[in-house]
Amino acid sequence: MADIDPSGLPVHVAIIPDGNGRWAKNRSLNRIEGHVRGTANVKDTVIFAKELGIKVITIYAFSDENWSRPKEEVDALMHLLQEYLIQERPNIMKNNIRLCTLGDIERLPLFVLEELKKTMELSATNTEMILNFAVSYGSRNEILRATQTIAKLCIEKKCIPEKIDQALFSKYLYTKDLPDPDLLIRTSGEMRISNFLLWQMAYTELYVTDTLWPDFNKEEFLKAIRSYQHRERRFGLTHEQLDEF
Ligand code: IPE
Ligand code: IPE
Ligand code: MG
C-alpha cells in the first residue's frame, strides 16, 4: 500500500460486482454457489474499503432487471442479502459504517426489508463510511421517479420549469446529499454500465478488470485505486487549465 497516495483517494467508489455466475460455471458449480462466494467477498471488500479510508462505497447488489432472473436464483439472492444484513450488522456497527440504500426497496420481500431497515436505523448516526446498497435499483427508473416528482411539484406550483437545474434534479435522486462516484470498478470484463448511476457517472473514472467478483481481493482493489491515481480528471477542461488551479 506504500505506493497509494492517501490524499488522492477517490471519495466515492461505486462497484458492479459482476461474474458470480461465471465463477461458479468455471468450477462446474451451481450459479448460486457463485453468489454465496460473491456475498462473502462483499463483506471483505466493504471492511477493506473502510480501512483504506474510502468515505462512500456504493455496491450494485441487485438491479431492476435482475428481478427477471429465474425465481430460484432471485430467491437465493434475497436470502443471501438477508443473511448478510444479519451477520454483518455487528461488523457494520463496530466499523462505524452507515448503511443506506438506493432503489425501489419496497419491492423486496418483507424478510429482507425488515433487516435492511433495522440496519439502516441502527447505523444512521455512524460516521466513518457510507455503505450504499443499490438493491432493486435501475438508473432509468430513478431518473423517471425524479422527473415525476418534479412534474407534480410544478403542477402544484411549488416549482417552475425554469428553476429545474442540475442541482435541483440531483436532489430527487436516491443519491441526494452524496458526491458523485469518483471511480467505478466493474469486475468480470464487461464494458458496460448496465443501468447503474447513469446521471451520477457523467465524470466518473471507469475501471474494468477481467477478474470475476468472487476473486476480486485486496490486491485487485489496490490496483484499481492505483489506476485511478494515475488518471487526469479534466472535467471538460484542458490540461493547461488544470495547472492553473
Ligand atoms: C453478479 O453476478 C451478481 C448479480 C447480478 C446479482 P452474475 O450473476 O451477473 O454473474 P455472471 O455475469 O452471470 O457471471
Ligand atoms: C449488473 O450485472 C448488475 C449487478 C451486478 C447487480 P448484470 O449481470 O445484471 O449485468 P448485464 O446483464 O451483464 O449487463
Ligand atoms: Mg452478470
| Stated pTM of the model | 0.97
Please, where are the H alpha helices in the chain?
A: 20-26, 31-52, 71-94, 110-122, 139-155, 166-170, 218-229, 239-244
Strands ordered across the beta sheet of 129-137 = 97-102, 129-137, 56-63, 12-16, 183-186, 205-208
Q: Give residue 194's identity as a one-letter amino acid code.
A: S
Retrieve residue 159's grid coordinates: 416549482
Helix axes 31-52, 218-229, angle to 10 degrees: 60
With a Cβ cut-off of 6 Å, ligand 2 is lined by 16-18, 60-63, 65-66, 190, 192, 194
Band (pLDDT 50/70/90 cuts) for residue 146 is: very high
Domains and CATH numbers, the chain: 9-138+179-234 (3.40.1180.10)
Residues that are catalytic: 18, 66
Quick: pLDDT tens for 184-243.
999 999 999 999 999 999 999 999 999 999 999 999 999 999 999 999 999 999 999 998
